[in-house]
Amino acid sequence: MVDPQDLSSSEAPNEFSEVSEVSNVPPSSLLGRDLGLAAAQSVGVSTAGARSFGKQLGGFWVTFKAMFKKPTTIEYPEVKEPTAERFHGRHQLNRHPDGLEKCIGCELCAWACPADAIYVEGESNTEENRMSPGERYGKVYQINYLRCIFCGLCIEACPTRALTMTNEYELADDSRSKLIFEKADLLAPLRQGMLMPPHPMYPDMDESNYYKGEVPGAHPSQEVQP
């Protein structure tokens, strides 16, 4: 490091001495570019006349006019506006009308994800433990909202429409682990006529009937016998 003392005592003229020599020159010309200072001096307050007052009033008029407009801001946490209809919010894992899960654990969403935010592990359905129609269901389903960019490619990839997006956007939290949503966090709630899986499939229907939407709701025989 060069000692500042040495610098000031050196023969080379320093910045400050140079400025003091040419102190009568305006600083703007010294820097070689116009900073608008000259213009500011020319409309200085001390030289204000009727013309400049009119200009100031023009500025206040804008403010005054705005007082009569409907405000566009909302008091967000207390007041909530609906999002656009197709807003990409939190994901949801849907159910068939009888309550069976639509997810078949195929992992196509995980493969489509450009941010590597989805982790899926599939498992085979058995007669005793049937979570979805067909052969497989998603046993582990995680979405990491620290990674998710809400692009919606996972939704496009899903072959059974199991994964869709809701309009829910309030996804901030105070720890990383809370932002990894598990299957239980993502599953759609049970609606009227649905039964909590595991339970058997609708009688005389196979998975293609489920995909065609021909299952109206849970059948009494699907109640799991204790």
Name the site residues for another protein (rule: CB under 8 A).
104-108, 111, 122, 124, 135-136, 157, 159
Q: How far is the CB of 159 from another protein (least distance, A)?
A: 6
Q: Name which of 104 and 195 has its Cβ closer to another protein.
A: 104
128 touches 96 (CB < 8 A) = no
Q: Name which of 90 and 210 has its Cβ closer to another protein.
A: 210
26 touches 37 (CB < 8 A) = yes
Residue indicated by tokens 């009727």: 50
**C-alpha to C-alpha distance for 13 and 8, rounded to whole angstroms:** 8
Q: How far is the CB of 91 from another protein (least distance, A)?
A: 19
Tell me which H or E stretch contains 136: strand 136-144
Q: How far is the CB of 171 from another protein (least distance, A)?
A: 27
Q: Name which of 18 and 121 has its Cβ closer to another protein.
A: 121
Q: Name which of 105 and 200 has its Cβ closer to another protein.
A: 105
State the alpha helices, DSSP H only, in the chain: 4-9, 15-21, 27-31, 37-42, 50-66, 108-112, 153-157, 183-186, 207-211
Q: How far is the CB of 194 from another protein (least distance, A)?
A: 25
